[in-house]
Amino acid sequence: MAWLQLAILSPFLLAIFVPFLYKYVRQIHTGWFVLILPLVLFTYLVQFLPTVSRGESIQHTIEWIPSLGINFTAYVDGLGLLFGLLITGIGSLVVLYSIYYLSKEKEALNSFYVYLLMFMGAMLGVVLSDNLMVLYVFWELTSLASFLLIAYWYQREKSRYGAQKSMLITVFGGFAMFAGFILLFLMTGTYSIREIITQVATISTHELFIPAMLLILLGAFTKSAQFPFHIWLPDAMEAPTPVSAYLHSATMVKAGIYLVARLSPIFAGQAEWFWLVAGFGIVTLFWGSFSAVKQTDLKSILAFSTISQLGLIMCLLGLGSAAVHFGYDKETALYTTAVLAAVFHLINHATFKGALFMVVGIVDHETGTRDIRKLGGLMSLMPITFTLAIIGTFSMAGLPPFNGFLSKELFFTGVLNASQLNLFEMQTWGMLFPVLAWVASVFTFIYSMVLVFKTFTGKYQPEKLDKKPHEAPIGMLIPPIILASLVVIFGIFPNLLSYSLIEPAMASIIPSVLGPEQQFYVNIYHWHGLTTELYMTIGVIALGTILYLSLSKWSGIYNWFPKKLALNHFYDHGLISMERVANKITRFHMTGLIRDYLVYIFAFLIIVIGGGLFTLNAFTFDSSTTAPIGIYEVILALIMVVAAVAVPFAQSRITAILSVGIVGFMLAMFFVVFRAPDLALTQLIVETVSVALFLLCFYHLPKLKKEISPVPFRATNFMISLGVGLVMMLVAFSAIGNRLFTPISEYFLEASYTEAGGRNVVNVILVDFRGFDTMLEGLVLGIAALGVYSLIKLRLARREDLENQ
């Protein structure tokens, strides 16, 4: 096994040992043992940086199910490495943070770190897999781990609700994605992403191409909390804060982004892809930032902010896909800017959002509340936390000199360029993008300011807080400090990243744009002159400040929005009504009456066999092979028919039983006439015994409510019994004329004496040629006898009654 695969699986291996470490090494916080692994993985992945930035990639394959083309192929290129570094890097910080956040005494640390490691391994598997099926397996594992982590405090009802909601939505998308992968396999015959990309030219006109794209996008959108599937993310905030910071801001919600970026080489260039990805992205961006302003819970603000920033990245990936149309030279570098901005903002978002979640966690941990209406004036009590919050929020709002400013400028450049595209009908609708983007940025600015100033400035209200607030312990501060310093470093020296990480990632997102030996030109700088983007940013800051200061005057507009149209309302009522309708349907057809079930079974038989054979024109009657009919046969049949017809019309049960007996005896007579002595013998005895058994049952009917009334007539039953008889008769008649080959019985007649030494052919067949069936039928009789005996003798209920007395 190559080191790379071992690296992906190592979190799972460590997860096995975590419960033992927790149980036997109680004096040391389990997190310390866990911390080592992401650090090692991070340093291991950093070693790939030189290779990847040269534009090369690393690939290792282990065969898993080679007969189905499913192999565990680890593949490291720019995009995979970027995500791998994010996962392990932020993973280490989150583990360190959780050591101080979660108490050693009160919390079940073993399950926490098992779930967290499971998630880390699954996420590494998602981003480093080349095989779609393996990717899907890890994808579902991230959903599962996220479910477990959200419901970490499973005693709380809201945690369970949030976990269920996120599970339902992400697994729904996961299944859709799975179907999309299978469609891709049907088109290309391979599960390997590399190989699918080489076949892009042939599959893009395939009829399954668009369905595959839609299904895969559904998976990506649900995972990345895009509108309208974003509703699970705010409810996932019931998870412990390290989980929110790790899963629901930096890594898992970016799995959808990763998927869109990873499959861009396949789908980019299609108008549907461009409009879906960019359209849903921009709507999510706007809706997320708009909704974030009205939240009063710090983590909810961050959740909606995450939604909106994910929408931003998604939108940029969609806009960037247009670049595929133009090829690469200095002129069209304008269009690749969107992809550059997406990758850059991806990194930035992970840094500042991680830091902000940790800051919020500290505030929660030290004051006991996350409600901004209770918080205020913490600036002087928690100066370090306040500084970190300032850096994070200003970066989020897009203010210089932090990295958010740079990515926001690039974002504006991207949407402005895109609005001038003369492609995909952008001439008519293109202007929507900059406008929506700009409005969303204003809202982003407002909630960023709310987040920092409502928490840390204003009036200090100690009476509303459960705890006496003070600065957090240093261990809890280190991870956000590291992230915040990265925010500043990337803000001041953005070109540290440009050719080491961003350019290789761009090359894996839109590889077809580059010719051989070409590189994307990545140069991010603060000052690019008095451009439109700069005026837009100034406008955002100006309008944002005004709106923030007058927030109390206009925040009433959020109440105008009708509750009934909220997406959560749809989700909750959808679940309830789905359950109700399902119950109704079940109650409608599962009546508990065997009569009804028999009606279903027989009606189905008539429809399927009768209808099927009718549509196939299989009802033919060929009389060439039939034998002549003797008059006594007619009379025997007449007796049988009379006796059989008499059964349903019988006035008393005993008549019915005797009629059935007559039918049986007549059958024995037919066996005689058709020369089957053994059958006749057996039939006579069996008929006699069963008539005796019927009489036994009849005799033991209860005295009360003894019904000796005729069978009531029901039209449905009549129709169905008539139908079944008719269908079976037609099938039998048709079967006579359709003998496909000569029967095997000639052989039995010849071989009975020579091979088996018996002259009675029937008996030789029963015990010799096909003795196996006879043995098992003997077994059936034995089982029936034992069953009857135990039914009569074993009366547990009565014994219990006796014991209870």
Partner 1 sequence: MFETLITLSLVLISLSILGTLYRLFWGPSMPDRVIAVDSVGINIIGLVAIVSVMLNTQAFLEVILLIGILGFIGTISFAKFLERGEVIERDRNR
Q: What are phi and psi of 593, to 5 degrees?
A: -100, 125
Closer by beta carbon to partner 1, 271 or else 637 = 637
Residue 687 CB, shortest distance to partner 1, in Å, is 9
Residue 701 CB, shortest distance to partner 1, in Å, is 14
Q: Cα–Cα–Cα angle for 99, 387, 485, nearest 5°? A: 70
Q: Partners of 120 in the beta sheet?
A: none
Closer by beta carbon to partner 1, 473 or else 710 = 710
What CA–CA distances, in Å, run from 608 to 362, 603, 611, 727? 66, 8, 5, 10
Closer by beta carbon to partner 1, 168 or else 639 = 639
Closer by beta carbon to partner 1, 179 or else 646 = 646
Residues 6+ apart with CB under 8 A from 519: 55, 499, 503, 507
Cα dihedral sign, 709-715-720-721 = positive
In whole angstroms, give the CA distance from residue 506 to residue 338.
Answer: 10
Closer by beta carbon to partner 1, 673 or else 775 = 673
In whole angstroms, give the CA distance from residue 195 to residue 188.
Answer: 8
Closer by beta carbon to partner 1, 708 or else 796 = 708
Residue 612 CB, shortest distance to partner 1, in Å, is 39
Residue 699 CB, shortest distance to partner 1, in Å, is 8
Alpha helices in 191-297 (DSSP H): 193-198, 200-203, 209-223, 232-235, 241-245, 254-267, 271-292
Residue 658 CB, shortest distance to partner 1, in Å, is 6
CB 307 within 8 Å of CB 458: no
Closer by beta carbon to partner 1, 537 or else 659 = 659
Q: Partners of 65 in the beta sheet?
A: 70
Residue 801 CB, shortest distance to partner 1, in Å, is 24
CB 392 within 8 Å of CB 447: no
Closer by beta carbon to partner 1, 215 or else 643 = 643
Closer by beta carbon to partner 1, 446 or else 640 = 640
Residue 636 CB, shortest distance to partner 1, in Å, is 6
Query: How many CB atoms sit inside 10 A of residue 376's CB?
Result: 18
Residue 629 CB, shortest distance to partner 1, in Å, is 12
What CA–CA distances, in Å, run from 561 to 235, 373, 788? 20, 22, 70
Closer by beta carbon to partner 1, 128 or else 658 = 658
Token digits for 338?
């969107």
Closer by beta carbon to partner 1, 282 or else 669 = 669
Residues at the interface with partner 1 (CB under 8 A):
630-632, 635-636, 638-639, 642-643, 646, 650, 654-655, 658-659, 661-662, 665, 668-669, 672-673, 675, 677, 680-681, 684-685, 688, 691-692, 695, 699
Cα dihedral sign, 733-735-741-743 = negative
Q: Amino acid identity, residue 430?
A: G
Q: b or e along 264-274 (b: 16 or more beta carbons within 10 Å of the residue's beta carbon)?
A: bbbbbbbeebb
Residue 625 CB, shortest distance to partner 1, in Å, is 21
Residue 766 CB, shortest distance to partner 1, in Å, is 16
Q: From 206, 227, 209, 231, select the one nearest 218 (Cα to Cα).
A: 227
Closer by beta carbon to partner 1, 40 or else 654 = 654
667 burial class (0-12, 13-18, 19+ CB within 10 angstroms)? middle
Q: Partners of 131 in the beta sheet?
A: 192
Residue 696 CB, shortest distance to partner 1, in Å, is 8
Rg, the chain, Cα only: 38
Residue 740 CB, shortest distance to partner 1, in Å, is 30
